[in-house]
Amino acid sequence: MSIDDLGRAAATDVRRKATQEIDPTRMLKQLRRKQRNRSVATAVAVVGVVAAGTILVANGALPGHHQSGNTASRPSPSPTISGPCHNALVTCLGGNKYLVALTVPVTVTLPANFQGAFAQSGNASGVFEDYRTDNANAGITVMENATPVKYDASWSQDPTAGNTAASIATWLSKRPFLSHTSLTRTIVGGRAAWRVSGDLKPGAALPAEKNGTGPVAPTFTDTPYNTAGYRPGLTGQYTLLDVPGAGVTVIWSWSNTNQGLISNQAYIDGLSFG
């Protein structure tokens, strides 16, 4: 066999093997399979992106976007002052309004110059007080079922005061340790009320001991832990009203200056009962 014959035979053998190894039908099936795999991978990637975007939206975390409306994953914004909302006895109503769970609930519209402390001690169900932000010696005490007391050290009830807001306000305006008193009819939270102002007489006896502050001329109590009275350096003004379920309720406005009492008035004007 010549070299030419060997070359032709080798070429024929190569073509035969190529035809056997490269099956057009099988190759077409492989190409279609690869195309499907790429499509599935693309779809999975798209679904992943959409899912990630959905999670980001649900959590308000998409860059350049802010959450609007309510979602189950995030609580509503708290009111301006959020601290009291952690107190089980205080419900935040929004708009600087708070519901304090006394025996008869009290709604407070909090002025800007008050802390929103709603401090309670002793018989917490019937008393709370709040403090000014601009004067450490001024504040408001709200006392339900207040008991007018004798002018001695006992903190015991004075039966001569009567048992209505009007009679007790008259009694208070005539206390022997006060001078320059005034008795004014007013309205608090839509209810009739009486406001009593007066100055502690110079040299007046201070027979009662008020826990934490020293001797005072006593006015009201509801328990041994919650008491009110006059002492040097602290002027007071009392607003009294009848609240069904809470007896005679006393709002005690106190300050180290008369101007401080004036600045307390917005707090009293923002109270309602029941």
Any idea which of 60-69, 230-239, 259-268 has the lowest mean pLDDT? 60-69
53 has pLDDT over 50: no
Domain count, the chain: 2
Residues 125 and 11 in one domain: no
121-128 long-range contacts, CB within 8 A, separation 24+: 121/225, 121/226, 122/222, 122/223, 122/224, 122/225, 122/226, 123/222, 123/223, 123/225, 123/226, 124/89, 125/101, 126/102, 126/222, 126/223, 126/226, 126/246, 127/102, 127/222, 127/226, 128/100, 128/102
Residues 90 and 50 in one domain: no
pLDDT band at 61 (very low <50, low <70, confident <90, very high): very low
Q: Is residue 112 part of a domain?
A: yes
Any idea which of 8-22, 39-53, 101-115 has the lowest mean pLDDT? 39-53
What pLDDT does residue 124 have? Answer: 58
More confident: 38 or 50: 38
43 has pLDDT over 60: no
More confident: 57 or 134: 134
pLDDT band at 218 (very low <50, low <70, confident <90, very high): very high
Mean pLDDT of the chain: 77
Residues 27 and 142 in one domain: no
Residues 198 and 102 in one domain: yes
What is the mean predicted confidence (pLDDT) over 15-32?
44
Percentage of the chain modeled with pLDDT above 70: 68
What pLDDT does residue 265 have? Answer: 97
**DSSP output for 11-33:** HHHHHHHHHHH--HHHHHHHHHH
Residues 195 and 258 in one domain: yes
Residues 159 and 30 in one domain: no
Residues 54 and 108 in one domain: no
Residues 142 and 265 in one domain: yes
What pLDDT does residue 163 have? Answer: 97
Q: How far apart are CA 253 and CA 170, in angstroms?
A: 18
Residues 7 and 130 in one domain: no
What pLDDT does residue 84 have? Answer: 66
Residues 51 and 109 in one domain: no
CA-based torsion, 118, 169, 263, 221: positive or negative? negative
Q: Is residue 207 part of a domain?
A: yes
What pLDDT does residue 88 have? Answer: 78
Q: Which CATH number belongs to the domain containing residue 175 in this structure?
A: 3.40.1000
Q: Is residue 65 part of a domain?
A: no
Instruction: Note down the domain range covering 12.
Output: 3-58
Q: What is the token pair recorded at 170? A: 């008259």
66 has pLDDT over 50: no
- Give 92's strand partners: 98
Residues 46 and 93 in one domain: no
Query: What DSSP designation does 76 have?
Result: P
- For 152-185, the pLDDT digits (tens) are 999 999 999 999 999 999 999 999 999 999 999 9
Percentage of the chain modeled with pLDDT above 90: 62
273 has pLDDT over 70: yes
